[in-house]
Structure formats: C-alpha cells, structure tokens
Amino acid sequence: MRTYDDPCGVARALDHVGERWALLIVRELLLGPKRFTDLRAGLPGASQNVLSQRLRELEESGVLRRRKLPPPAASRVYELTERGSELEPVVLALAQWGSRMPLTSTGPLSVDALLYALKSTFDPGAADGFEGSVELRLGEESILATVSAGQLTFARDGAGGDAVLRADAETIRSVVFAGRNLEESEVEGDRQVAERFVTLFPRPPMSS
C-alpha cells in the first residue's frame, strides 16, 4: 500500500481511504452490506480488477470485512466495520462540499449516490412541522425515507411508508433537483406526503 509518509492525521487517513474508488465503496456500503455484483452495479466506472484491489486494501485497513450470509442466501457480502462506519460524516461532508461544484458527469447515478445527495441537501427548516415517510422503490431496491423531528433517515428494504414513490434514481434526482414534474413518477398512498417530501432538498448555490 502506498503511503504519504506524513504524520498528519489527514495524510494517515488518506493512506487508507485516499485511493481512487475507496470512499465511493464506503458510500455504497453505508446503508448495509452488498455482494460484489451489487458494488459493480453501483460503481460501473470501476473495473472488476480495480474494485477487487480496493476491496482487499480496505479489508486490510479494517474499514470493511467479508461475511457469508446464512442459508438460503449463502452468498458472500462486504460490509463496513465499526471503523468504516465512522466515515459516514466524512462522506456526507464531502457530498455537501461537492454538491456546490458544477456538474461535469452525465453518467448514471447509483441508488446510494442518490440517497447521499438527498441527505447532504436535506433542509430541516423546510421540514418544519412535517413528519412522514416515503418508500422509494428504485428499480429492484426499496428504501424507506423517514422525516421526523427535523431529521432524515434511510432504511434499506424498508416498507410501510405513508406514500410510495416508484421511479429510477435519475428520475427522482430530476424531480428533486431539477423541478421535473412529480406526475412523471408513480405515486401511491398519501400524495401530499410525497409532494412535500420532494421539496425538502434545496439545491445549494454553486461555488464561484
């Protein structure tokens, strides 16, 4: 593993998570374990060899671990360790900082990237007086987004929201950040909850 050979805490952290794709792998695992194929789907720009190498390095650094699921699944997944989960504020801060930069990519947005875009732009003031939950059905994934006491939380494989918003990640992104009509998404349940939910994420001003 390459090192900055610098005693500063920032450099020591980057010795472990500073390689390309490392923090994006962490982003993909913050809401729960994933199989290698799931990680490939969420990070289509990373080759299989590079992704495998980063996963080995992060495992050696104690950021993540491999685990075999019990039957009937019996598949191997990657999940963050406690040390890896401590990186969530770092990922969120980077998402908030990066959201003020001009958009330079036309690539697809993964489900987890969308969720952290929502989390990094969530405005508690806009949510004042609002309590509710929306089940985001994004392709084969289901995420329960709950707003309570001015906080936004996500639960993977969640169900039972006040409303269900069925669309792909790119459509939700367009509705929330580009003013796309919610009518273009499939909404079930309490429509007022869904309509209020998509207004809670004001796009931050661009950095000059």
Structure confidence at residue 184 as a pLDDT band (50, 70, 90): low
Side-chain-side CA neighbours of 125 within 13 Å: the count stands at 2
The pTM of this model reads 0.88
Q: Which residue has the higher pLDDT, 107 or 191?
A: 191
Mean pLDDT comparison of 54-58, 93-97, 117-121, highest-scoring range = 54-58
Q: How high is the mean pLDDT of the chain?
A: 91
Give the pLDDT of residue 157: 81
Neighbours of 85 (CB within 10 A): 14
Q: In whole angstroms, what is the distance from residue 17 CA to residue 9 CA?
A: 12
